[in-house]
Amino acid sequence: MKYKRKNYFVDGVKSSILAKKFSTPLYCYSYKKIRDNINDLKKNFNNLNPLICFAVKANPNKSLLSEIGKLGLGADVVSMGELMKAIKAGIKPDKIVFSGVGKTNIEIDYAIKNKILLINAESKSEILEIEKIAKNKRRKVDIGIRLNPNTDAKTLSQISTGKKENKFGVSEDTFLDLVSYVNKSKNLNLKCLSVHIGSQILDIKPYQKTLKILDKIIKKTKYNFEYIDLGGGMGINYKKGGKKLNLKKYAEDIIKFKKKYNSKIIFEPGRSIIGSAGILISKVIYIKEGGKKSFIILDAAMNDLMRPALYNAKHQIIPLIKNNSKSKKKYEFVGPICETTDKFLSTKNFQVLKEKDLVIICDVGAYGMSLSSNYNLRPKPTEILIKNSQIKIISKRQNLKDLM
């Protein structure tokens, strides 16, 4: 995904052609980038031989899931819808883990029926519910228990999940109680200790701290966990030249940890697999001069890409075709929605744009389309995948008719 002279290309395809052919706003994914991201993780974690389960909530597109499955990954799901989609996309149930604090009895029943690898439970009540359903079915169900390690992931507070004030997982004391409870159950089989401390983590320290806490707790339980699920959260570079998570070091620390227990390691990455593999192409509808800056009103909005409005996340915006304008402008890129937070980015030095020009919002593959909505009754955009220079529509733009 790069410029060749003035034009931006995705896997060998000129992106201006895509915009013309499929109209905008348009989500476009690079197969090569997905594969490279997966290979990068695999390479760093090579000595661990982990099961890598893609966090489906980052992007639940069926074609993408199917490609990710073919590249050897399993799935981490958080709802019945995601579980169904993962199975439909060809991911084998024995590579699927089910997370989430509020699984309903219908969802648990469905997961048990499909014989997935693990249900990672997050409370005593949930464990009792799983046990009840398993008993009714005369089954022994494999579960994990999610620990809340009370560690600060040092990321945005809205995407932190591992502190004791967060709703996720159980405290150390509860964890120890639950281990002995599940041990006595005839219908539950305790296989896994899971953690997931947050998302977009770039600092290795919270991960290291979590490993230390796990170490301490596993010793206390004296239990032999077949799996240790370390969750996802590996951060990506939304800014050129920004900080990078030291995956190699993280892998070395996990190897040391694993030697003591010989459990199989599971990861649940979402963002680090698909985030950098997607762009959103958008057209300038109007330019509105406003004092010291100009508003660039795009045809993409917060309903298409929610992260800036939801977390104040910053996504780089670049021109689809570079011009040679020497003068640079101060722009604020906004969407057409009637909300002040429908705003993508303020830039200081952007090339001079005119109406109908095209821009690219970068790194939107994760939590882009999956967080999209029909707010303002706007149809959801088309998604396309470029694989070996072949263009495939993987989700069609919604019709206004569908919304009436």
Ligand X SMILES: *Cc1c(COP(=O)(O)O)cnc(C)c1O
Catalytic residue positions, numbered: 338
Closer Cβ to ligand X, 234 or 394, answer by number = 234
Buried b (16+ CB within 10 A) or exposed e, 104-138: eeebbbbbbeeebbbbbbbbeebbebbbebbeeee
Determine how many CB atoms are found less than 10 A away from the CB of residue 165: 7
Longest CA pairwise span in the chain (Å): 73
Q: Residue 245 CB, nearest distance to ligand X (Å)?
A: 11
Q: How far is the CB of 401 from ligand X (least distance, A)?
A: 33
Q: How does DSSP classify residue 186?
A: S
User: Is residue 303 part of the contact set for ligand X (CB under 6 A)?
Assistant: no
Binding mask 169-198 for ligand X (x = CB under 6 A): ---------------------------x--
Continuous segment of H or E residues that includes residue 125: helix 124-136
| CB of residue 125 to ligand X, shortest distance in Å | 18
Stretch that binds ligand X, among 31-39, 206-214, 225-233, 391-399 (CB under 6 A): 225-233
Single residue of 144, 149, 206, 232 touching ligand X by CB under 6 A: 232
Q: Of the candidates 74, 149, 206, 269, which one interacts with ligand X according to CB under 6 A? A: 269
- Contact yes or no for 196/233 (Cβ under 8 A): yes
- Name 11's Cβ contacts closer than 8 Å, sequence gap at least 6: 1, 30, 31, 32, 33, 386, 387, 388, 389
Find the binder of ligand X among 15, 44, 63, 99 (CB under 6 A).
99
Q: What DSSP element (H or E) covers 344?
A: strand 343-351
* Cβ contact 13:32 at 8 Å: no
Window of 181-189, 262-270, 287-295, 306-314 that interacts with ligand X by CB under 6 A: 262-270
Q: Binding segment for ligand X among 13-21, 208-216, 267-275, 378-386 (CB under 6 A)? A: 267-275
From candidates 149, 270, 308, 319, binder to ligand X by CB under 6 A: 270
Return residues touching ligand X (CB under 6 A).
Answer: 55, 57-58, 76, 78, 99, 196, 199, 231-234, 268-272, 366
